[in-house]
Amino acid sequence: MSNLQIGLAIAGGLVLAGVVAHSAWSARKNQPKLATPETPSDESHMPTRADDMAERQEPSFEADSGLGSLSSLASMMAIDKRPGLDPLIDVIAPVAIDQDVSGEAALAALPATRRAGSKPFGVEGLNAVTTQWELPTAGQRYSAFQCGLQLANRLGALNQIEYSEFVIKTQAFADALGGEPEFPEMLDEVARARELDQFASAHDAQLSFTLHAASTAWSPGYVAQSAARLGFVAGAIPGRMVLPSNERGGAPLLGLSFDKQAAMAEDPEQSALREVTLSLDVPQVPRHEQPFVRMRESAQALADSMGGVVMDDNGNLIAPAAMDVIGSELEQLYDTLDERDLSAGSSLARRLFS
């Protein structure tokens, strides 16, 4: 072999080695950040499955919803010690009965579904012993009942068709107990529902920040591990984590979500995430929990630890001054909700803004 051939062979080998090295470097550079093994002392920070109440669930009277059982709904209502039905957000029809009725009979007379259209339907009984309105319970006796239908929720205001279905359900319940219902005027209640819906629509707030990877992408495990260190736990839905409330039965303070398909991939750690979303459902969380402060702190902490930046829905960086403005506007919103007896995080607000 001539010197020229040997030189060409060496040069070719060097080029090939360079290509291989560059490919390996590129692959390593593009590989998402992976979760690191936790030491035993860090076990308490590992993400765990949230309990049934950690995920935000729509407060309703429906038996097949997350809060649909009588016991779980009663637990939710105990948060602010107010009855389930309230004339502020419900149309209520009293049901008079000639003699006391057992809780068992009342439960048997309840309709199969606790909805009229898109609105939650509920029944309460006047306990003959305590003289308090409560959800019908076996072993108790009741001297009167009242049926109610929510006037509005995030699906809109009560309409005439839904009101008519409410009348049918209430009449059937009353007939089963030998009772006599008294219905308010439909047009008045529909008009009241529209006014409440307009107020709710004008004072609803669901905030979100986007955390975008500044350079290297993240694996789902890396995101989960980073969020777990701030107190987030795994939600019921793949690709979602929540920061639990400090109050029993309370809605999560914050939500953190990323690509569901990446979380469900056969090998999630090979999935590359370039952004995650941090969210706050303002009317669902009590003001005193300072959820926006927690949201702001969590966003910055995650950005710092994961190598990301905080952006708005339009892809613009969010400056601290803009955060201050949002916080100030939220305080005004909280004041307005308080004035309307729909304080953020209360059972009434959670039902209305659901």
pLDDT in tens, 86-99: 999 999 999 999 99
Is residue 249 within 8 Å of 186, Cβ to Cβ? no
Q: Where are the alpha helices (DSSP H) in the chain?
A: 3-30, 70-77, 103-109, 160-177, 186-202, 220-228, 260-263, 291-306, 320-339, 347-352
CA 118 from chain centre, in angstroms, equals 18
pLDDT at 34: 59
The pair of structure tokens assigned to 266 is 């056969």
Place of tokens 């950005």: 303
Mean pLDDT value of segment 54-66: 42
**Greatest CA span in the chain, whole angstroms?**
116
Max mean pLDDT range (41-55, 75-89, 201-215): 201-215
Q: Is the pLDDT of residue 4 over 90?
A: no
pLDDT at 162: 98
Phi first, then psi, for residue 281 (nearest 5°) are: -95, 95
Per-residue pLDDT tens for 226-246?
Answer: 999 999 999 889 999 999 998
CA 69 from chain centre, in angstroms, equals 18
pLDDT at 45: 44
pTM given for the model? 0.77
| Nearest Cα residue to 190 out of 157, 142, 232 | 157
Mean pLDDT value of segment 41-48: 46
pLDDT at 184: 98
Per-residue pLDDT tens for 13-25?
Answer: 544 444 444 444 3
Query: 1: pLDDT confidence band, cut at 50, 70 and 90?
Result: low
In percent, the amount of the chain with pLDDT more than 90 equals 68
pLDDT at 267: 74
DSSP string, 199-218: HHHHT--EEEEEEEESSS-B
pLDDT at 292: 98
Mean model confidence pLDDT for the chain: 84
Place of tokens 């009167």: 144
Residue 229: strand, helix, or coil: coil
Amino acid at 33: K
List all residues 6 or more positions away from 46 whose beta carbon is below 8 Å from its beta carbon: 38, 225, 228
Q: CA dist 171 to 33, 146, 190, Å?
A: 61, 11, 19
Based on its alpha-carbon atoms, the radius of gyration of the chain, rounded to whole angstroms, reads 28
Q: Is the pLDDT of residue 53 over 50?
A: no
Q: Is the pLDDT of residue 44 over 90?
A: no
Phi first, then psi, for residue 138 (nearest 5°) are: -60, 140
pLDDT at 167: 98
Measured at the CA of 343, the angle between CA 338 and CA 347, to 5 degrees, comes to 150
Mean pLDDT value of segment 287-297: 97
What is the spatial distance between Cα 19 and Cα 46, in angstroms, rounded to a whole number?
Answer: 40
pLDDT at 116: 97
Q: Are strands 240-243 and 254-257 parallel, antiparallel or unpaired?
A: antiparallel
HEC profile for 162-196? HHHHHHHHHHHHHHHHCCEECCCCHHHHHHHHHHH
Mean pLDDT value of segment 325-346: 97
Mean pLDDT value of segment 246-267: 87
Higher pLDDT, 202 or 235: 202
pLDDT at 2: 60
Q: Is the pLDDT of residue 67 over 90?
A: no
Q: CA dist 310 to 142, 146, 231, 299, Å?
A: 56, 49, 19, 7
Is residue 116 within 8 Å of 169, Cβ to Cβ? yes
Place of tokens 């307009």: 198
Mean pLDDT value of segment 147-173: 98
- The dihedral region occupied by 345, where left means phi > 0, alpha psi between -120 and 50, and beta the remainder, is left
Per-residue pLDDT tens for 111-140?
Answer: 999 999 999 999 999 999 999 999 999 999
Query: What domains can you pick out in the chain, each with its CATH number?
Result: 40-56+203-352 (3.30.1400.10), 83-201 (3.30.1400)
pLDDT at 266: 73
pLDDT at 272: 85
Query: 75: pLDDT confidence band, cut at 50, 70 and 90?
Result: very low
